[in-house]
Amino acid sequence: MKFAEKYKEVDGVYFSEQHTVFDYSDGDEAENYLYDVLKKTQDLSIGSEDLALAVKDWPSLYHLSPKRADLLRPLTNDLKGKRILEIGCGCGAVTRFLGEIGCSVVALEGSARRAKITAERCRDLQNVLVVCDNFQDFVSEEKFDYVTLIGVLEYSNLFIKAANPFLQMLQKVKGFVKSEGELIVAIENKLGLKYWAGAPEDHVGKPYFGIEDKYHKGTAETFGRAELSQLLQGAGYAQVQYYYPFPDYKLPEVVITEAGLAHKDLDIVGLLIEKIDYTQNQQYRNQFSSSLALQGLHDNGLVPDFSNSFLIRAAIQKTATAETLHLAYAYSTGRKKFFSKENVFEATKEGDIQVVRKYLYQDSPVVGVTLSNRIQDETYIKGESLYKELLAIVARSGWTLEEVSQWAQKYYRVLKSQAYSRNGELWLSGQYLDLTPFNILVQEDGNLVVFDQEWTSKEDLPLYYVLFRGLIYSIGRMFCFAPPAEGTPVNIITLTTELTNTLIPFGEEQREECFKKERFLFAEVIPGAVNPYGFYNINIRKNLEKENRDLQERCEQVTAQLEALKSEAANKDNTIQELQEALRKATDEQHAMRMQELERSREELDKQANQLTASIAGLESAIKEQQEANQHLAAQQAEAQKESSRLRNQLGEQETKYTEAANEFRRKVEELSQHIDWYKRTYQERSMLGLVKEKIKKSLSK
C-alpha cells in the first residue's frame, strides 16, 4: 500500500490530507487522560500492571483492561502472522493484542486524537501502522487476510450516507478482504438477556430501548442474530460463524462456540453463572436473575438469540467446516500477568470433555512468597454448582438468613471434612485456600465434588477464614437479589458476618483477621492495593409483589376516599340546592322591595313633574306679561324720541345753549337702552323659569 501518495506521517500516525473532522469521542477529559497515561507508561503490553493501576472509571477500564484482548484470544492461532485491517481501532486495546501476537496491522481510526492514542499504545510495535482517515474515504490497493469491525458496525448510520448504511459498510469492507479471508465483527445484541432484565442500552443508556426498536438516524443501532445474518448474507458473505462472549464482547470472561452450545454434556448454565450481567457505565437493578433465566433459554435452544453480544466470523467463500473440538474458553486476566490463565473446554474423540488450562504468559506454575498457583488439565465433571442453589434461594422474595444458612451448612460440612483441630480450633491445609462454593459440584447422586483448586497457601489456614472467604465471594458475585425478609442485613459485610456466625462463632475480631489474611495472601496476585470483599449493599431488585400489594392497598384507600368524596359531594349538592333556593327567595324579596321603592320614586317624580308643569305654565304667563311690558316700554321710548325731536326743533335756536343738556340727555337715553338690553338678555336667567330649570337639572343629577 503506497501511503506516501495519500497520507503524511506525523508522530507515528498517517494522516489523510483530505481528512474531515470525525465526531466521535469519549470526551476530552477521558481521552486526554488516556494519552497522558500511555505517554508516561513504560510497560504498554496487554496485562501491564501499570495500566491496570491507571484504571479509574468506565472509559479507562474499557480502554486499558486486559480483558479487551480476551475477545480475540480464541482466534489467536488463526490470526497469528496474518495481515489485518482494523477499522475503528479506537484507543488501541485490540490493536495492541494483534500486534503482540505477530499480526501485521493497519489500524484505521477516524478521530485524530484516538489515532494518536493508538499510536502511543503501540509505539514499540513495528508491525502496527496507524492511519487517521474516515472509513468512507479510505482506499487501499491491498487486500487483507482479516478485517475487523469491533464495536463499529452499529455506528454506520451516523457516518455513512446511504439508504442502508449498515449494508453499505459491509459491502465496502468486503472489498478489502482477500477471497480466502474473513471479516470479524463484534457487536451488541439488541435482544440480549441483560436488556430484558433491565440493563440500559449500551449506547443510549435507556432500558428497553433496543428491545422496543427505538433506534433512529441519530443513534447507534444494534441487531438481533437473525437480522445480522441477513445483513451479512445480503452483503455477499458466503459463510457466517458465531461465537458468544459473556458478559459481552467488551470485557469477556467466557466465550462459547456454537459447538459448545450444541454439546449435550457441557453445562452452559453453570459456566455462565453470574457472568451475564455487569455494570457498564451506570448502575441498574435487574428485574430477575439472568443466571436462573438462562436455564430455560438453554433448554429451548434460545441462548444464541439472547446472548448479550456476538463475535462473528464472516467468510467471503464457503469452505468445508472442520469439526471443532473447542466448546468454550474461560479467562482469568484481572490478575497480574504471571497468574493470568486460560481454560479451554475441548470435546474429546471419546465423547468426554477435557478442561485444558494454561498460563497466558509463561509455561510453568507460579510460586509466590505467600502462595503458589498451580493449574492442571482435568476431565470435565458433570454436576450442578453448589453456588447455583444459593442463587435460587435469594431469587425468592422474602428469603431469610436462616434459609441461606441451611445452604451454607452444606459448604461448611465440606470444609469441616477436610479440617483438623489445633488448639481447640479447626484448621485447613493451605491447599484448600480456593475451596469455595463455586468450586464444588453437586452430582446427581447428591455427592459433592471439589474441582479447580489452583491456589495454595504456604501456611495452613483457620477454617473460619476459608469459610468467610467462600461465603462473601459467593454473595459478592451475585448481581440480583430478591427483596429479603424484613430485618435481613443488606450490607455484604454485615450479611456475611451474621451468616458465618450461624455456623461457627464469628465476630468482628475474626472478620478483621480475614481482611488481613486476604490482603496478605493476594497482594502479589492483584495489581495495586488489595481491597478485599468491598463494603457495599447487595443489589436488590424492585419488590414487584410488594409494590403490587402496596398499589392494591393504595387503590382501596383511594376508592374509599373517592366514595367519601362522592358522599361529601352529594351533601354539598344538597347544600348548594338549599342555598340556591334561599338565594332565589331572597332575590325575589329584594326585587319586590326594589320595585316598591321604584314605584314610590316614580310617584314622587310624577308629583314633582306636575308641580314643575304648573310652575312652567305660571312662568310662561309671567313671561308674556313681561313681554307686553317691554312692548309698552318700547312705545314709550318711541314717544320719548318723538318728543325729543320736537323739542330739538323748538330749541334749535337755543342749540348752543342747551348742547350740554342734550348730550347729557342722550347719554342717559343710551344708558337706559343698555339697561333695557341687559334686562332682555338676563331676563330668563333671573326669572322663575330659569330657577325651575336649574332645580330640574340638580334633581336629575341625583
Residue 560: pLDDT band (50, 70, 90) is confident
Euclidean distance between CA atoms 560 and 564, whole angstroms: 6
- 596 vs 262, which has greater pLDDT? 262
- Which of 474-483, 515-524, 624-633, 675-684 shows the lowest mean pLDDT across its residues? 675-684
Cell digits for 4? Answer: 506516501
Mean pLDDT of 619-644: 79
Please provide the average confidence, as pLDDT, over all residues in the chain: 88
**Burial track 386-398 (b if 16+ CB lie within 10 A, e otherwise):** bbbebbeebbeee
Q: Which residue has the higher pLDDT, 381 or 625?
A: 381
- DSSP single-letter state for residue 28: H
How is residue 480 written as a grid cell?
440480583
Residue whose C-alpha cell reads 496487554 in the numeric block: 46
C-alpha cell at 687: 326669572
Q: Using pLDDT thresholds of 50, 70 and 90, give the confidence band for residue 631.
A: confident
The per-residue pLDDT for 549 is 65
Identify the residue whose cell numbers are 463494603.
535
- Looking at residues 549-568, what average pLDDT do you find? 78
Tell me what pLDDT residue 529 has.
Answer: 72
How many angstroms separate the most distant Cα atoms in the chain? 182
Instruction: Over range 490-509, report the average pLDDT.
Output: 96
In this predicted structure, the answer to whether residue 685 has a pLDDT above a threshold of 60 is no
Q: State residue 678's pLDDT score.
A: 67
The pLDDT of residue 316: 94
CB atoms within 10 A of CB 24: 14
Is the pLDDT at 588 greater than 90? The verdict is: no
Residue 282 is predicted with a pLDDT of 65
Whether 18 has a pLDDT exceeding 80, the answer reads: no
| Stated length of the chain | 702
Q: What is the pLDDT of residue 369?
A: 82
Distance of CA 218 to the CA centre of its chain: 16
* % of the chain residues with pLDDT over 70: 91
Write the pLDDT tens digit of every residue in 353-405: 999 999 998 776 777 788 988 889 999 999 999 999 999 999 999 999 999 99
The pairing of strands 177-188 and 239-246 is unpaired
Residue 569 has pLDDT above 90, yes or no: no
Q: Which range has the worst mean pLDDT, 67-81, 362-376, 388-402, 432-446?
A: 362-376
- pLDDT, tens digit, for every residue of 137-189? 898 889 999 999 999 999 999 988 899 999 999 999 999 999 999 999 999 99
CA 440/CA 414 separation, integer angstroms: 9
Q: Which residue has the higher pLDDT, 214 or 636?
A: 214
Angle at Cα 371 formed by Cα 414 and Cα 491, nearest 5°? 60
* DSSP H stretches of helix in 18-164: 28-40, 49-53, 58-64, 76-79, 93-100, 112-121, 156-159
Give the pLDDT of residue 163: 92
Question: Side chain identity at 114, as an amino acid letter?
Answer: R
How many other C-beta atoms are found inside a 10 Å radius of the C-beta of residue 370? 15
The DSSP secondary-structure symbol of 137 reads: G
- Asked if pLDDT for residue 323 goes beyond 80, the answer is no
In the chain, where the domains are located: 385-542
User: Rounded mean pLDDT of 658-681?
Assistant: 71
The whole-number pLDDT of residue 455 equals 93
Q: How confident is the model at residue 6 (pLDDT cuts 50, 70, 90)?
A: confident
686 has a pLDDT exceeding 80: no
Q: What is the mean pLDDT of residues 446-470?
A: 94
Summarised one tens digit per residue, pLDDT across range 299-310 is 999 999 999 999
Cα-Cα-Cα-Cα torsion 313, 185, 202, 209, nearest 10 degrees, comes to -80
> 256: alpha, beta or left, given left = phi > 0 and alpha = psi -120 to 50?
beta
CA nearest to 385, candidates 430, 325, 450: 450
AA identity, residue 174 = K
Taking alpha carbons only, the member of 389, 200, 167 closest to residue 279 is 200
